[in-house]
Amino acid sequence: MSNPVATEVATLGAGCFWCVEAVFQELHGVQQVVSGYAGGTMAHPTYDQVCSGTTGHAEVIQVTFDPGAIAFADLLYVFWRTHDPTTLNRQGHDVGTQYRSAIFYHSEQQRRIAEQSEQDTEASGLWPRPIVTEIVPCTNFYPAEAYHQNFYRQNPYQPYCLFVIDPKMQKFRKEFPHQLTDAADNHG
């Protein structure tokens, strides 16, 4: 009888969760990605409520991953390189506190790794401006409505997917081919 794989959870905010979900679903070692809301005060918010900017929540993804296949630090390496962590409450044309850059850590170890990863990224000169990503404990997570889950995979010809997510995914696949799942090679 084999032992089940021990998994960990990471919760990340990097703009529109459709974009972030699409990227992280393609990483080897990621078992599940759920789009949702975190960091706010309202219990069980709706998408419209989060978009109003009054809930305090950010659009996030919650990633279940096998740390034997991909480390939390590796997830953060991708995180820093697939969104702009220097823009406060904004990613591209998406503006508002719900689009903030955030790492919601689940343990003290994740906090330490996130803080070190941020320092290393800042020191690397990857971004010309200071990083404004918040690193805070994950105190709540609410899955988004069903139509937000697997959005890019289920709606590849939707205009937002064609004009915003597709270019991001092409760049991602080019820069991270060694970290992609075999299934990712079949997505375009």
Estimate the crossing angle of helix 166-175 against helix 17-24, to 10 degrees: 30
CA angle 43, 86, 113 (to 5 degrees): 70
Residue 138 designated active-site? no
Q: Is 145 exposed, middle or buried (0-12, 13-18, 19+ CB in 10 A)?
A: exposed
Q: Give dist(CA 27, CA 118) in Å, integer.
A: 20
Helix, strand, coil fractions of the chain, as percent rounded to 5: 40, 20, 40
Q: Which amino acid is at 115?
A: E
Cβ of 140: how many Cβ atoms within 10 Å?
A: 18
Helices (H), the chain: 17-24, 47-51, 72-81, 108-124, 151-154, 159-160, 166-175
Q: Which candidate in 16, 19, 138, 161 is catalytic?
A: 16
Count CA within 13 A, CB hemisphere, residue 63. Answer: 31
What is the set of active-site residues? 16
